[in-house]
Amino acid sequence: MGRVPTISFETTPDRLPLAAPRMMRARFCRLAQFAARKRSTMERKSMYQQQKPSLLALAAVLAAPLWPAYAQEAREPDLLQEVVIVRGDRFDTPLDQVGRAVSVITAAEIEERQQRFVFDALSAVPGVQVIRSGSFGALASVSIRGLPSAQTLVVQDGIVLNNPSTFANSFNFANFDTSDVAQIEVLRGAQSTLYGSDAIGGVINILTKDGREGAEIDAFVEGGSFGLFRGAVSLLGGTEQVSGRLTVSGVRTRGFSTAEGSNGNVEDDGFENITLSSKARLKANQNLDFEFIGRYQDSEAEFDGFSFPEGPVDGDEIAQNQELALAGNALLTAFGEAFSNRFSVQYLRNDQLNLTDAAASFDALGTRIAIENQARIQPIDQLDIVLGAEYDRQNSTVAIGFGGNQQIDTISGFGLIQARPLPGVILNAGVRHDASSDFTDETTFSVSAVIEPPVIGGRIRGAFSEGFRAPSAGELSFNSDLFPEFSNGFDIGYERGFFADAATLSVTYFNQDIDDLIAFDLAAFTFVNVQEFSAQGVEVALDVDFGERFSFRGAYAFVDAVNVSTTLAAGNQPDHRLNVELAARPSKRLSLSVGITYNGREFAGGTTLDAFTLLTLRAAYQLTERFELFARIDNATDAEFQDNLGFGTAPISAFGGVRARL
C-alpha cells in the first residue's frame, strides 16, 4: 500500500488534538478501533496479509472496468489517511482540514522507497528542489517554490535546526538520515506567522519516532557501490504512560569526485558519519506530560576546492561537523479539552571546521537557545485559540574565515485562531510580532481556509501569508545596516477523491513576491538589500491505490522564479519537475517499486544545464516475519547529468542489505 499514515502520535480518543471538534472524536474512535486491528500489517507494508497473490495487479492500471472493485478494496486504508495529523501548523490538524499547502511523507513511504537521507525523501514533494554539491556528505540544500534555500526553515521535534554560523542561516541536509524519522511535513509558502524569520519559502517539519507502540528492535545493514557501508539500530519500548527510543546510525563510503568528472576530476571524496538520536516521554499524571529529545551527529566529508573561472577542481579539502540538538517539553492540560499549555526549551550547537592541506581554512561555531510557551484555549467546540511567546538567542563565532562574531536576541509574540462556523468550513487567521536586537521590529499576518463545496465535492484550500527573513549573524558581520527581506503571497488549491477515494488529485496555484532580498555584492564584497524576487507556478499531486497490490504517486511542479532586479531566472531551479513513484506487491512477501524523476532545464552560473531523467529500481523480499532482504539500483540508466554546475553526480550504482525487526 502506498501512503501509510503514521498514527502512532494520536492513537486513542483521549489524545485527539484539541483542534478537532467533538463530533469528530466519535468518528475517530471507530477509526482507532480499525487501526488497532490493522496496525501490524499497515506498519510492515501489509506483508503479512493472508491473500492469494494476484498476477493481474499491475494490469489493473489499464483495466477501467475493474476500478469499482479495487476502489472498494482501497476504502479501509484511505479512512486511516483522514487521521494523519499535521503538527507543523501549531493546531495539530488532520491533513484533510489544513488550509495551507502541505505534503506529508510517512515512515512507511520512506522505507518502501529505501530513502536513506531526508533530502532523498523531500525530492518527491511538488515544489521542492534538492541541490547537492557533489558526493556523499557534500552540501545538500533544499529550496521551496524556487526561492533560495536560505528561506527554508527546518524544524525537528520543535527544534529549529538552521545554523546561525552560516552566512544565510541555512541548514545542510547532507548529514540528516531517515533512520529515526516517523513523519515529514512540508508546509509550502511563507510561514512567518507560525515560525518567525527564515520561513519565507516554507517549513520542513520533521517528527521522529517514539516507543509508544511497545518493545521492538529495528535494525538494518546495507552495502554497495562506492565502498558504501551503512547501518542503523533503533531500540523502542513503552506505553502511553512511559516510552522511549534510542537510535544509532552511521555510514562510511569512499564516494566519488565532488568536482565534475567530465572536467578531468577523478579523485574520490569520501564521507563518514555517526548519529545518535533519542526521545523519551513520561506521563506524570492525567494532566501533565514531559518529553525529552536529543540528537547528536559527527561527520567528516572530503570535498574539492574551487578555482576561478574553472569552478570546482580536485583538492584535499575536509569538512568536519558536529551538531547537537536538545529539547525538553512540558504539556499541562486542564478543564478537560478546554485548555492546554506547552512549555519548551531548545538548544542547538553546530561546530564546523574546514581543513585545506591539513591547515584550518574555516572555523565557526553557531548556537541557538530558544524558550517558548504556547497556550491553547477551546471555549466552544467550533473555536480554538492559540497564544504564544518565544525568546530566541543566536550566536555566531567565526574563529577563522569571514563572518566575525555576532549575537541576535529576538522576542516574539503570536496569536492564532481556528474557527469552524459551519460543517465543511474551517477558517484560520494569525498574527505575529518579532522584536530583535539587531533589526527593525516586524509584524506578519496570515489567513487560510478549507471549504468543502456541497455540489462539486472535494476541498478548496486557500491561504494568504506575509513573511520575512532577518539578516543572519554572518550577513550582519559584513554589513550591520542590513534590514529584513519581506514577502507576501497566496496560494489556492483544489483537492478531490475519485473512485471511492482510491484516487486523490490535488492542484495548487501559488504566487509570491519578495522585497529587499539579501544578496552578496561581489564588487563591494559585502551583503546588501538590493534585489526583488518573484515566484509563481502550479503544483499537481496524484495518488492512486489499487487495493493492497499497487499504488501510484505523482508530483509535478511548474515554477517560474525570477530575480526581478536582474530579470534572470533563479539559479538551480528547473521550470518543470516531475516525480513518479510506482509500487507493486505481487505477493505477500515481495515488494517492488520504481522511482522516476524528470528535472527540466535550469539556469546555473551563467549557463543552462540540460534536462535529465533518473530511474531508480527497488525490491524487498520478506524472508520471515522478522527478516527482510532489500536491494535497489540508483540511476539505473547510467544517465550523465548535472544538477549543480561544476559538481559531480553519481553514475549507475547498486545497494543491498537486510532489515530485522525483533
What is the rounded CA–CA span in Å between residue 411 and residue 434?
6
Strand, helix or coil for residue 551: strand
> Which DSSP string corresponds to 342-404?
EEEEEEEEEEEEEEETTEEEEEEEEEEEEEEEEEEEEEETTEEEEEEEEEEEEEEEEEESTT-
On whether the CB atoms of residues 646 and 311 are closer than 8 A, the answer is yes
The DSSP code for 196 is -
SS3 label, residue 336: coil
Query: Mind listing the pLDDT tens digit for each residue in 419-460?
Result: 999 999 999 999 999 998 877 789 999 999 999 998 888 999
Dump the DSSP string for 434-484: EEESSS--EEEEEEEEEE--TTT-SEEEEEEEEEEEPPPHHHHHH-TT---
CB 424 within 8 A of CB 394: no
Contact 136, 301 (CB under 8 A): yes
CA 535 to the chain's CA centroid: 21
Is pTM, for the whole model, over 0.95?
no
| CATH number, span 13-661 | 2.40.170.20
What is the pLDDT of the chain when averaged over all its residues?
84
For 39-53, 82-96, 130-144, 462-476, which range has the lowest pLDDT when averaged over its residues? 39-53
Asked whether 589 and 576 are in contact (CB, 8 A), the reply is: no
How does residue 16 score in pLDDT terms, banded at 50, 70 and 90? very low
Look-up: residue for cell 563510503? 253
β-strand pairing of 576-584 with 590-599: antiparallel
DSSP run (H or E) holding 246? strand 242-256
Average pLDDT over residues 531-543: 93
Q: How far apart are CA 473 and CA 470, in angstroms?
A: 9
Q: Which amino acid is at 346?
A: Q
Beta carbons of 380 and 192 less than 8 angstroms apart: no
Burial class for 506, CB neighbours closer than 10 Å (0-12, 13-18, 19+): buried
Q: Helix (H, G, I), strand (E, B), or coil: what is residue 43?
A: helix
Dump the DSSP string for 535-579.
Answer: EEEEEEEEEEEETTTEEEEEEEEEEEEEETTTTEEPTT--SEEEE
43: confidence class by pLDDT, cuts 50, 70, 90: very low
Q: Is 175 helix (H, G, I), strand (E, B) or coil?
A: helix
Q: Which of 59-68, 207-216, 495-504, 602-611 has the lowest mean pLDDT?
A: 59-68
- What are residue 31's phi and psi, to 5 degrees? -65, -40
**Ramachandran region of residue 357, left (φ > 0), alpha (ψ -120 to 50) or beta?**
left
Coil, strand or helix: which one is 4? Answer: coil
Q: At which residue does the C-alpha cell 550566536 appear?
A: 395
What does the DSSP 8-state code read for residue 34?
H
Pairing state between β 152-156 and 202-208: parallel
Q: Locate the domains of the chain by residue range.
A: 13-661
d(CA 85, CA 64): 33
Is residue 564 within 8 Å of residue 589, measured between CB atoms?
Answer: no
Residue of 617 and 69 predicted with greater confidence: 617
Collapsing DSSP to helix, strand or coil, 36 comes out as helix
Identify whether 309 is preceded by a cis peptide bond (ω within 30 of 0). yes
Q: Decide if pLDDT at 301 tops 70.
A: yes
* pLDDT score recorded for residue 404: 66
**What pLDDT does 519 receive?**
82
Residues 451-477 have a mean pLDDT of: 89
Percent of the chain with pLDDT over 90: 60
In the prediction, which pLDDT does 624 show? 93
* Residue in this structure with the C-alpha cell 525538553, named with its chain if needed: 328
Alpha-carbon gap, residue 360 to 233, rounded angstroms: 34
- Contacts for 635 with CB less than 8 Å, ≥ 6 apart: 614, 615, 616, 650, 651, 652, 653
pLDDT score of 403: 66
Half-sphere CA count of 660, side-chain side, radius 13 A: 8
pLDDT at 302 over 50: yes
Pairing of strands 242-256, 228-238: antiparallel
pLDDT at 10: 34
pLDDT tens for 364-411 read: 999 999 999 999 999 998 999 999 999 999 998 888 876 668 888 999
Mean pLDDT value of segment 59-77:
33
Q: How confident is the model at residue 55 (pLDDT cuts 50, 70, 90)?
A: very low
What would the grid cell of residue 301 be? 566529508
